[in-house]
Amino acid sequence: MIIKNLNFAYGEKVIFQDLNMELPTGGVTCIMGGSGAGKTTLLNCISRQLRFDGNIEYDKDGVSFAYVFQQPRLIPSMTVEDNIKFVLPKDLSKEQIQERVNDIIVKLQLEECRKSYPGKISGGQAGRASLARALVTDCDVLLMDEPFKGLDVKLKKEILNLLIPLIRQKSVVFVTHDVEEALAIADRVFVFERKENSCVRVKGQIDVMQCCKETTCKDESDRDMYGEKLNQIRKEIYGLLTL
């Protein structure tokens, strides 16, 4: 995906002015930066929920999107299974729908709560159910806006380990404030900065996957999170976020 000369403003408040970015095809782009730095606004431009000037070139025509929000946004009156079914096209047969739902429930380890209602499940289960609802549609572009916010470190790690094999070959744009999440999943990291009364600028860009290729890891699940290479990237990201 290529973003060319993106311009967007909320009234007189300019957010993007001639923003240019190249996001890896079939890879994970992490967007980081302080509050108000335009991260969620970028997701809404990519998915065309906002009107903007400039151009966003997708990897193919008729691209489909799925969105995972900070809150699971599950429908309270529906079971986990029915929440997942709800987003599937109505032209699928009952058998096709059930096959897709069963597959994603197994992959995200939701079997024990598939008949439960959102108010009766844990935060980790709700997070996985939200991911299942997004991934069951087999979207081309997955947009994730701080989906693990509020979850403890152990739960984040468990969900990330389940998620990584499911998003290979998808184009993912992942907004996070968590450096460890970015290191675990990203192919490329962009750090945004927006100073008072100015537009967003890309303060830094880091190609995480290129660095990993220089080591022995084969993919995200095989990364040495505290090896020399990723420690260097960790320091660079923290520097961009704090200086």
- Cα of first residue to Cα of last residue in the chain, in angstroms, is 29
Does residue 160 contact residue 108 with C-beta atoms inside 8 Å? no
Report which DSSP code applies to 119. G
Tens-place pLDDT, residues 190-238 = 999 998 889 999 999 999 987 665 554 555 556 788 888 899 999 999 9
Considering the chain, tell me which residue range(s) the CATH 3.40.50.300 domain(s) occupy.
Answer: 2-64+141-242
Strands lying side by side in the sheet with 141-145? 65-68, 141-145, 171-175, 28-33, 188-193, 201-207
Q: How far apart are CA 213 and CA 193, in angstroms?
A: 28
Give pTM, 2 decimals. Answer: 0.89
**Fold entry, domain 2-64+141-242:** Rossmann fold (3.40.50)
Tens-place pLDDT, residues 128-150 = 999 999 999 989 999 999 988 88
Tens-place pLDDT, residues 17-39 = 999 999 988 899 999 999 889 99
- Provide the 3-class DSSP secondary structure of residue 205: strand
Torsion of CA 13, 21, 212, 166, to 10 degrees: 80
